[in-house]
Structure 1
Amino acid sequence: MKKFKLLLIGILLTTSFSMFAQQTVKGVVKEKSSGEPLPGVSVVVKGTQRGTETDFDGNFSITNVKTGDVLVFRYLGYANKEITIGTNFNFTVELAEAAQQLDEIVVVGYGTTTVKDATGSVEAITAKDFTKGNIVTPENLLSGRVSGVNITTSGAPGSGSQITIRGGSSIGASNSPLIIIDGLPIENSDASVSGSRGLLANINPNDIESFSVLKDASATAIYGSRAANGVIIINTKKGRTEYSLDFDMQYTFGEVLDRVQVFSADDFRNIINQIRPGDAALLGNSNTNWQNEILRNTVSSLYNLTARGQIFGAIPTRLSLGFANQEGSVLTSEFDRKTISLSMNPSLFKDHLKINLNYNRNFEDSRFGDAGQIGSALRYDPTQPVYDPTSPFGGFYQHIVSGEPANGTTNPVAALLQRNNTGFAFRQYGNLNLDYKFHFLPELKAVINVGFDKIKSENTDITSTKAPAQSNALFRGNNAFKTQERGNQLFDSYLNYIKTFDKTKLDVTAGYSYQRFENFGTDSGNKNNPNNVATTFADPDVVNIGFFGRANLTFSEKYLLTLNYRRDGTSRFGENNRWGNFGGAALAWKISEEDFLKDNKVISNLKLRASYGVTGQQNIPGSNDIYLDRYRFGNQGSQYIFGNQVIQSTIPSAINPNLKWEDTKTIEFGVDYGLFNNKFSGSLNYFNKVSSDLFFNEASLADGINFSNAIIQNIGELTINGIEFTINGDILKTDDYNWNFTFNATYLDREITKTLNNQEFRTGGTGGGTGNTIQLYRVGFAPNSFHVFKQLYDSAGKPIEGAYVDLNGDGLINDNDRYLKENPNADIALGFQSSFNYKNLDFAFNLRANIGNHVYNNVNSARAQYELLRDNAVLGNIPTSVLNTNFVRTADVINSDIYVENASFLRMDNVTLGYTFNNPIKKFSYSSLRIWAGVQNVFTWTNYTGLDPEVFNGIDNLIYPRSRNFLFGANIKF
């Protein structure tokens, strides 16, 4: 009995000691739905700064823990999980996806943070939140997802988008954000690449893991002179040690449903017989809808094959192949892309050295169908056939006057089929990132990032010699060839030190950046022209150098301070303005961590933020060397004789050595909130941006002080005020059901507040007149406001042609009576997304709305007048909207405010429905098959009378139409 008591006491003592002794906890973290290991999961002992991250197999290990400690598991896009340590010190942890979590990791400039600890306005969108549908270019994954971010995309296949964050910051320069792929800033100007659809067109969306959108200056200031328009950081998918194979395929069937209403062939005959009876003999016997002839139903396909696994026994690797083929709705328009992506991510020296190698090769083939032929289709005679066997112009019908093709009236089908305008672009880009945590000082790490981006493109434009254009010239047809090469090299290096001192956490980063851009090419001109002269161009290299630093200070996990600084130098400007200083500061207070709110059942998170920062814009429109003395050759008549030799003269170009970058100062106040244990979460932000020293192209100069009377100058100021609101929530969440939503709203007010001597600048060229413009930059108004006459109406409410209000009361109607009416930018932009899952069934949709945006309907203002029926030598059709106005002469009405229309809209972009079959291949324990279908461009509700209320820059002169697409796809994983 005595021995038994001693044994019992020993067991109790051993158990007690084991409960309080410091031990090591180990385990593996996996994704709940697939069972795949999750690398990079944050594992922290709650209430401390002690923790680690899982390796590529999802494994983790933490020493000096004891029974009763709580481990917190956090991973981007997944619900955080807490586990209390008992007698078991080895765990298998499964993480489930979540709509929004405060502990999600967000990538920021040269580092990471979490949603909870972010002091600036930063939003992260992961793969599970991407917009679904016929996504061919990566920016459309974000459409409608982030407050303050507006993305407008043409309907052309593979076409790029106009992206603005918080309304941009400029007037004369680019408003596109800085885009960074795996730490490599890519060329973000609005300039096109010859032979390519756009700078993002050849990037495969399937290779993207997440986006981080940096909006306020405190978050973007670390990128200095290129961050005034915001920053979008793209992170691509990485390798894993677990072997897996994914295959995605998608088929899309598209149709353009809407047409501009023009007179039918029979109605056209009746009109011509009434107003031009002498020309009735010119009418044909056909009934041709020319819009139907040039627009087609489309079939497109996407394929992606991805393999992940460990090679050579130690290197987690991902290899992806992508194939995209997209038909355009305009005849002959096509886009084809092939991509190869490789990522290798080994970790050496017990995870002290992490290596990330990313390499991409993309091949883009395009045929560009001339969207301008949509306008020709509106005007072409509907009584004539498409084909004419007797025609000398390739068998296509063509208007003939005096035995020759009529000027400016080409059969639109012939114009498309007889022109072969093709492009090819080869792009390769990637980076090598070395992240070394010092053995002797693990709080300090050094990071080196080396990257490159090179693109070579070709554009061949051949028009048949049987085409009617230029038939009376010395040559027939067109044969032109262009090449272009762009280069981008990057070297970044920085040190990062993270240390916790009692209740204070210090995170400091300091580094250096060097980047060079190159651009050159050739243009053969029309080789069919015997007088043709080929040309070459080579832009001056652009070099950017930056010294940057950031300090994050956290006290008691409640009070946060962030300081950013960057000193930037660029070769775009002269010596006196080559260097600039940019920076920002942000404060945050986690009120919910205070004792009086810590256990609140309603408010689970509440953080106040305030920030201020200065960023820049260096993308000079049209020139990178305007500060240099430059000379160009004059025309052939500008010659002189010197020593009996004829010498062509040279002419000095205008110069501005005082040009500098634009500065944007931003102040912001924000609130981040979470309710009911973060079942609902979001943010509310107010910001004020003031951009000064704005670039204005062709700003006037006094005579005799330069080699031009107008040149680009820094003479303007723009103010933007805005409010952003976001809410995310789980409406229903059980083991079988998951219904969540996200809603965002943005209000923007843009105003030009200063120009030199209150100068005004015309912009917004329109069709229907030579040199006609419809927009104006004026102090006190929004950029691109419409500059129009105020229309007069009769007693019946009908507009009186050419009758306008004498606004200045001088008894004359002239340009002094034009006023500014509205602008293209929406006052309010809304986005709503929702997804519903029941067991293996999933359903999702997303909506977008703009309120207060206006569009100038140039289709009607330039084409819906009777003179185009009555006075043209060649018969041509017009829109039936002329019946609403009965206007006769285009020149008298083109500037009427009747054509500025409210284009507010509600659009459902996508809706998808899918079902997942688990383990269809029994040999693979985690195999799955998802079958899905969807509709893109489901509906648009608007009062705008044109085809589409979403128009680049607010002028609708027949944009490339968006089709309604029906999609079918499958995803196989094993």
Structure 2
Amino acid sequence: MKKFKLLLIGILLTSSFTMFAQQTVKGVVKEKATGEPLPGVSVVVKGTTRGTQTDFDGNFSIDRVKTGDILVFQYLGFADKEITIGTSFNLTIQLDESAEQLDEIVVVGYGTTTVKDATGSVESITAKDFTKGNIVTPENLLSGRVSGVNVTTSGAPGSGSQITIRGGSSIGASNNPLIIIDGLPIEESGVTGSRGVLASINPNDIESFSVLKDASATAIYGSRASNGVIIITTKKGRTEYTLDLDAQYTFGEVLDRVNVFSAGEFRNLVSQRRPGDLGLLGNANTNWQDEVLRSTVSSLYNLTAKGQIFGAIPTRLSIGFANQEGAVLTSQFNRKTISLSMNPSLFDDHLKINLNYNRAFEDSRFGDAGQIGAALRYDPTQPIYDSSSPFDGFYQHRNGNIVSNGTQNPVASLLLANSTGFNFRQYGNLNFDYKFHYLPELKAVVNVGFDKTKGSSEYLNKFQIGNGDLTQQFAGTESNGTQERSNQLFDTYLNYVKELEKLKVDVTAGYSYQRFENFGQNSGNLKDPDSFATSFADPDVVNIGFFGRAKFSFLEKYLLTINYRRDGTSRFSENNRWGDFGGAAIAWNISDEDFLKDSKVISNLKLRASYGLTGQQNLPGVNDLYLDRYRFGNINSRYLFGNAAIQSTIPSVINPNLKWEETTTIEFGVDYGLFDNRFNGALSVFQKTSDDLLFNAALADGTNFSNSTIQNIGQLQIKGIEFTLNGDILKSDDYNWNFTFNATYLDREITKLSNGQDVRTGGTSGGTGNTIQLLREGFAPNSFHVYKQLYDTAGKPIEGAYLDLNGDGIINDDDRYLKENPNADVTLGFQSNFNYKNFDLAFNLRASIGNYVYNNVKSSRAQFELLQDNAVLGNIPTSVLDTNFLRTSDVINSDIYIEDASYLRMDNITLGYTFENPIKKFSYSSIRLWAGVQNVFTLTNYTGLDPEVFNGIDNLIYPRSRNFLFGANIKF
């Protein structure tokens, strides 16, 4: 009995010590790079099934943990971490980003998926991966980051961009992708007074981009998805209270100039070429390009507060200020934004509500970039100012008080003109996501959104352009205008997800309604009594869609996705109003098969194939071509009926047979991961065929009320290959070096045009009605249409001498041929991040190979005849010495001006250091100080200022500055 009592006491003591040693471990899990808490992190005691997940604020708690136990932390897209419990039971865990992304959530149309379960071509870029630098508009966050996506932006402050995915799908309609913000598809056209439809969106408010590229992924958006889809998700509220302040200052300067003759060189040239005009020379030495371009100072501020209000509503409030000077004199862009997100959950998280509301105030002054061309031409021997001038003291070529014909003083043209714009935009959505209480596999989603924009513009110029006669009663120009756009959305859908023993079924079905409105007015020239105001009100555009998607996953290895959408639009007549679009994709996770699942090399391997049909209906301003319409003629065009003068009406062109373009895409791809997904990426091969291309084409005489109109005329085929590679080069507790690389090859060919006829396009300066590009069957769109230049025995081009290609003994338009095109054969992107302890370094490179540019600066300006500029003298580029060309009209279509514009560009490089609150009495949690350079260098053989131009015609784009950036990110 005594031994039994001793044994019992021993057991009780052992239990007591065990209970004493086992405690509750609490802590918080954060992302190491940003310090943001991570919700949903799996926390498990190693070797057991006991575990939990972090809550919305990254907090966790596990009972019955003792010293020596190992906790395993796992989170999507982050490296696993193991922590051995010592004497501390209150932990702060920081997780590093990992190349492993198989379980990362990707936003797709009307729902989400994971990288592993995706069957289509979808790429997701989150905030931590965005391109860094002086980013004022959101599309530039993507620049060079996604295979197949090309973003071209001018240097104008706040300017919009040309975005194409896989080369677009059209030749006459829009090639812009459909952009969706929190479920709201936005109109791609801006309003008067604004710099672009995305200029009013603060990049700081964006959480992620999802780029949908193949038709199986985009088909759920039906008639608007042929150019791809970009889904923007904005940042949401949190329950943890934080306050972030971001400040950035940018100092910029345009370093390059077009080489023209200096004042001294110009005097010598005039004395040699035009000695009779020596009396027209001045005594000044003016570099007009330096005078119209300036160094710039810009700033960005963002203040963000997150936390829980009213005890239950996670909230985010952000205020942003952007002030950006343009390199062209007087150019300015200012933007103020307010963003509010509230994300409560009710009924034990069965009902999730997301409210997003944004207001933006955009205030711009537009500096006329055309004055850069005037600066090239203006006489460098003339001064900027003239005290005797009646034109506000600016020098002008004049005869008394009248400005002589010829280029006007570019500095005066900028400073004496005031072109301003103001834009107020508010947009947002209210989303209800309800998971049924007694059927949790089924949820209902309702999304209501709106986007309303009101813009105004004012223009005032003291002197009438091209005349400047101060004796005229209405000398000068003054006008104003307003425009309003409205976009309303109602979406609702049901989603049913059921996991059986081996099969997972995910079915979605829904309805979408969207209406667009657009109206405005213009005052005409208020200084001109013969000018009158005009107004417009476009017919409302209504889009209605019924959509569905079914996804099946068998053993998590064999995947099938089917999309369908029936779309209706008011743009077309009743006979062509409705269309059916859809797609299907299959995928096989080979790496989950027995023969690969234990491989040490191949950690992920998925084969996929897809096919789909999508549409394109976006022709801005063309909403009712199927209707009989009449417009009033000129106010002075009247008919007399008796004694009454009746203003004439004119019937407008009509095309009741117009319908949307249709694009068919077939794709095969492989997604791969190597060495425990340390390296991963994808390879895709695709072909897009667009039929019934929308284009403004000629009409037979007498068949309509115009000689041309929008028609469905042809077929375009694009073949391509995309490759991506992501990886960790080095990784440890102290440092991390990772990279992303992407490459895209595109081959575009027009396979059919109406009646096989060529279509001229690509207007140029240097004459009236000149075009330099052509649409022709069997060739890439917008190929350059030129004469083949002949050269003398010394290798110098012979002016006006071209090869007689058809051998008829006559040099005429029939001897022009197609040489190259503006579209790159290959585009490359490379981005890398290096972190060592608290230091971070990031840079990104872009390359374009095989793109050609028509140098319209040289073709229209580098000829000796232009030394005379309408009875005054004008400067010309020094490249004229390479050709000795005399007349523009003889050489403007020569192939000598088609140049290889391939380039390698470093867009940004930034270096930062993060201070982790070394002095505890201060209230901040971290401060990151950083510096960087934007537009670091460009390597190219192109002889113009910039090889990256819109549509392949270089007629002096707005120049890009090299910017030096300094910033601070403070987290409280």
TM-score by length of 1: 0.94
CA gap of 1:566–1:55, structure 2 versus 1, over 3 A, is: farther
| Rounded Cα–Cα distance in structure 1 between residues aligned with 2:495 and 2:78 | 27
Counterpart of 1:907 in structure 2 is 905
Q: Does 1:494 align with 2:460?
A: no
Where 2:713 maps in the other structure, the secondary structure is: strand
Counterpart of 2:66 in structure 1 is none
Displacement of 1:279 in angstroms is 1.6
Q: Does 1:311 align with 2:309?
A: yes
Q: Please list the CA deviations of residues 694-737 of structure 1 after superposition, one character each: whole Å capped at 9, or x if unmatched.
A: 0011x122232222232111011000000001001100000001
Q: Please list the CA deviations of residues 165-194 of structure 1 after superposition, one character each: whole Å capped at 9, or x if unmatched.
A: 000001101100011111111112xx4421
CA gap of 1:392–1:113, structure 2 versus 1, over 3 A, is: same
Q: How does 1:594-743 map to 2 (within 5 A)?
A: 594-636=593-635, 638-697=637-696, 699-743=697-741
| 8 Å Cα contact 1:166/1:722 also seen in 2 | yes
Which of 803, 812, 829 does residue 805 from structure 1 map onto?
A: 803
Where 1:960 maps in the other structure, the secondary structure is: coil
Q: Please list the CA deviations of residues 178-221 of structure 1 after superposition, one character each: whole Å capped at 9, or x if unmatched.
A: 11111111112xx4421001000111111111111111111111
| 8 Å Cα contact 2:99/2:679 also seen in 1 | no
Equivalent AA in structure 1 for residue 95 of structure 2: L
| 8 Å Cα contact 1:70/1:83 also seen in 2 | yes
Counterpart of 2:746 in structure 1 is 748
Counterpart of 1:789 in structure 2 is 787
Where 1:451 maps in the other structure, the secondary structure is: strand
- Computed over aligned residues only, the root mean square deviation of the Cα atoms, in angstroms, reads 3.0
Where 1:291 maps in the other structure, the secondary structure is: helix
Where 1:350 maps in the other structure, the secondary structure is: coil
| Rounded Cα–Cα distance in structure 1 between residues aligned with 2:603 and 2:508 | 31
Displacement of 1:759 in angstroms is 1.8
Equivalent AA in structure 2 for residue 117 of structure 1: D
Counterpart of 1:20 in structure 2 is none
Q: How does 1:167-566 map to 2 (within 5 A)?
A: 167-188=167-188, 191-401=189-399, 404-465=402-463, 469-471=467-469, 474-566=473-565
CA gap of 1:34–1:648, structure 2 versus 1, over 3 A, is: closer
Where 1:272 maps in the other structure, the secondary structure is: helix
Equivalent AA in structure 1 for residue 942 of structure 2: Y
Where 2:606 maps in the other structure, the secondary structure is: strand
Q: Please list the CA deviations of residues 464-515 of structure 1 after superposition, one character each: whole Å capped at 9, or x if unmatched.
A: 1487744275521111001010111111111111110101111111111111
Equivalent AA in structure 2 for residue 931 of structure 1: L
| 8 Å Cα contact 2:455/2:483 also seen in 1 | yes
Where 2:714 maps in the other structure, the secondary structure is: strand
| 8 Å Cα contact 1:393/1:468 also seen in 2 | no
CA gap of 1:462–1:153, structure 2 versus 1, over 3 A, is: same
| 8 Å Cα contact 1:664/1:692 also seen in 2 | yes
Q: Please list the CA deviations of residues 420-439 of structure 1 after superposition, one character each: whole Å capped at 9, or x if unmatched.
A: 00000001111111111111
| Rounded Cα–Cα distance in structure 1 between residues aligned with 2:179 and 2:310 | 34
Equivalenced residue count is 961
Where 1:615 maps in the other structure, the secondary structure is: strand
Q: For structure 2, list consecutive stretches of 5 or more residues without a partner in the other structure.
A: 19-23, 64-68
CA gap of 1:852–1:629, structure 2 versus 1, over 3 A, is: same
Displacement of 1:642 in angstroms is 2.8
Which of 859, 862, 869 does residue 860 from structure 2 map onto?
A: 862
Q: Please list the CA deviations of residues 617-640 of structure 1 after superposition, one character each: whole Å capped at 9, or x if unmatched.
A: 011254111010101122346432
| Rounded Cα–Cα distance in structure 1 between residues aligned with 2:651 and 2:515 | 28
266-275 or 132-141: which moved more? 266-275
CA gap of 1:726–1:549, structure 2 versus 1, over 3 A, is: same
Equivalent AA in structure 1 for residue 539 of structure 2: P
Where 2:873 maps in the other structure, the secondary structure is: coil
Q: Please list the CA deviations of residues 644-664 of structure 1 after superposition, one character each: whole Å capped at 9, or x if unmatched.
A: 422122111111111010001
Q: Please list the CA deviations of residues 547-595 of structure 1 after superposition, one character each: whole Å capped at 9, or x if unmatched.
A: 1111111111111111111111111100011111111111110100001
Displacement of 1:291 in angstroms is 0.2
| Rounded Cα–Cα distance in structure 2 between residues aligned with 1:50 and 1:621 | 59
CA gap of 1:685–1:361, structure 2 versus 1, over 3 A, is: same
Where 1:268 maps in the other structure, the secondary structure is: helix
Equivalent AA in structure 1 for residue 934 of structure 2: Q
Equivalent AA in structure 1 for residue 492 of structure 2: S
Equivalent AA in structure 1 for residue 810 of structure 2: L
Displacement of 1:760 in angstroms is 1.3
Q: How does 1:65-104 map to 2 (within 5 A)?
A: 73-75=74-76, 77-79=77-79, 94-99=94-99, 101-104=101-104
| 8 Å Cα contact 1:133/1:935 also seen in 2 | yes
| Rounded Cα–Cα distance in structure 1 between residues aligned with 2:664 and 2:746 | 16
Where 2:372 maps in the other structure, the secondary structure is: helix
| Rounded Cα–Cα distance in structure 2 between residues aligned with 1:581 and 1:10 | 75
384-393 or 613-622: which moved more? 613-622
Q: Please list the CA deviations of residues 395-431 of structure 1 after superposition, one character each: whole Å capped at 9, or x if unmatched.
A: 0000124762112421000000000000000011111
Displacement of 1:364 in angstroms is 0.5
Equivalent AA in structure 1 for residue 660 of structure 2: W
| Rounded Cα–Cα distance in structure 2 between residues aligned with 1:265 and 1:632 | 53
CA gap of 1:388–1:832, structure 2 versus 1, over 3 A, is: same
Counterpart of 1:19 in structure 2 is none
| 8 Å Cα contact 2:608/2:668 also seen in 1 | yes
CA gap of 1:100–1:331, structure 2 versus 1, over 3 A, is: farther
Equivalent AA in structure 1 for residue 572 of structure 2: F
| Rounded Cα–Cα distance in structure 1 between residues aligned with 2:722 and 2:52 | 35
Q: Please list the CA deviations of residues 834-855 of structure 1 after superposition, one character each: whole Å capped at 9, or x if unmatched.
A: 1111100111111100000000
| Rounded Cα–Cα distance in structure 1 between residues aligned with 2:825 and 2:730 | 33
| Rounded Cα–Cα distance in structure 2 between residues aligned with 1:469 and 1:51 | 81
Equivalent AA in structure 2 for residue 851 of structure 1: I
Q: How does 1:813-828 map to 2 (within 5 A)?
A: 813-828=811-826
| 8 Å Cα contact 1:45/1:72 also seen in 2 | no
TM-score by length of 2: 0.94
| Rounded Cα–Cα distance in structure 2 between residues aligned with 1:44 and 1:890 | 77
Counterpart of 1:775 in structure 2 is 773
| 8 Å Cα contact 2:419/2:457 also seen in 1 | yes
114-123 or 395-404: which moved more? 395-404
| Rounded Cα–Cα distance in structure 2 between residues aligned with 1:955 and 1:920 | 55
Q: Does 1:115 align with 2:110?
A: no
| 8 Å Cα contact 2:40/2:75 also seen in 1 | no
Counterpart of 1:21 in structure 2 is none
Equivalent AA in structure 1 for residue 212 of structure 2: L
Displacement of 1:281 in angstroms is 1.1
| Rounded Cα–Cα distance in structure 1 between residues aligned with 2:886 and 2:219 | 55
Counterpart of 1:577 in structure 2 is 576
CA gap of 1:249–1:72, structure 2 versus 1, over 3 A, is: closer
CA gap of 1:921–1:612, structure 2 versus 1, over 3 A, is: farther
| Rounded Cα–Cα distance in structure 2 between residues aligned with 1:970 and 1:83 | 32
| 8 Å Cα contact 2:99/2:677 also seen in 1 | no
CA gap of 1:923–1:449, structure 2 versus 1, over 3 A, is: farther
| Rounded Cα–Cα distance in structure 1 between residues aligned with 2:237 and 2:791 | 68
| Rounded Cα–Cα distance in structure 1 between residues aligned with 2:504 and 2:606 | 18
Q: For structure 1, list consecutive stretches of 5 or more residues without a partner in the other structure.
A: 17-23
Displacement of 1:369 in angstroms is 0.2
Displacement of 1:276 in angstroms is 1.8
Equivalent AA in structure 2 for residue 662 of structure 1: E
Where 2:693 maps in the other structure, the secondary structure is: strand
| 8 Å Cα contact 1:74/1:104 also seen in 2 | no
Displacement of 1:756 in angstroms is 1.6
| 8 Å Cα contact 1:100/1:728 also seen in 2 | no
Aligned-pair identity (%): 78
